[in-house]
Structure 1
Amino acid sequence: MTTESYAAEQTGLLIVDPYNDFMSEGGKLYNAIKETADASGMFDNLRRIIPAARASKIQVFVLPHHRSCEGDFDGWQHMTPFQKAGVPGKAFEVGSWGGEFNEEFGPKKGDVVVHEHWAQSGFANTDLDAQLKQHGVRKIILVGVIANSCIESTARWGMELGYHVTLVRDAAAAFSAEGMHAAFNVNAPMFAHAILTTDELLAGFPTTADAATA
């Protein structure tokens, strides 16, 4: 059982890339993550974690990937393999259904939508650090996709900036089982302060009564 606790006024839940293209059936990348999402139970666990965070008055932050537009990478010298692969498929395309937030897992009123990240880290060239500081957040919990890219990169950067970092192994997905293993079993123990299951995480959330008096 976890010994971690998450005071609402110091904790932020970071939902990474909750686009239809990732998290809705028919999305361009849905089938690519479905196997690991089903294996981890990500979708059902997000359905537990996100409402529980809001009920506990934990601030929710949505970290969206850059949405594709024509000519995005014209003149770029150092595109990543994922960026190169994404150009023909136009994942998260502006104006498309796939580039909209999933109705269940995307932002609601009161959530903070951070500026879009171009590559992997939700901190790089965005306002995430400023938003966390303005909301008094010292502990960040990361859920969503992709475990061994955007989640891992954001978590590492958060650790370097002095945040307490929690990863939730059954509330994430990747493009392969190997990616999940690398993220949570090989790399995360080098930088994350807590690597929990959904049950362990929720056990550390404030109770509804605590939230009501906060």
Structure 2
Amino acid sequence: TVKTSAKSLIVDYPSLKNPKIISSGVSQANTNGYRSFNAFLAEDGNIYQATQDRTGGSHILKIGQNNEYDNSYVFSLDAALGVTGAYVDAWRYAGNGIAYVVYNIAGDGGYVARIDLNARTASKVAIPEDADLSFQQYQGFVVNGDEVFIAVTPVGKDGNIYIMNSRTGTVTKGAKLVNKAGNHYIGIF
């Protein structure tokens, strides 16, 4: 299978006319997401878009105010996290250049990272590690001011809501989530 570069369809808003396909020179991965938003408009006027790629690792791409991919903006989650095969299951922009990503590594595990879109850095958030934790199909982040709420519940096990402060990076363990065998929390709404 030959992969093509990551692509997006740009249209005028609100008319949705004048469609134009743009291509990234940074990534050949999918840009559509799975049950979750995959692109966010930041305060700097640029759109940031996550990619999903099982073989080349996920990237965050930047679409500039000129409606073209900025190929000088290279943000590899593999490089930023020091891993191979980081795959964005979902992410949410929190403001001021900060976002939170739930991801797996080469299809295994469930992890959270705080990313800085301006510095192009990522740091793994300290949450309990569990072999049954997976964020595949995750879709429901809540952002309220500086706080980002994420449900962290291994499949079939109790977990908690975790509250991350996007300005300070602090993490607070919140309400307990009661689970049943085989169940999977896919977010907070």
TM-score w.r.t. structure 2 length?
Answer: 0.28
Structure with greater contact order relative to length (CA < 8 Å, sep ≥ 6) = 1
Comparing both structures, which one devotes a greater share of its residues to strand?
2
Q: Which has the higher helix share?
A: 1
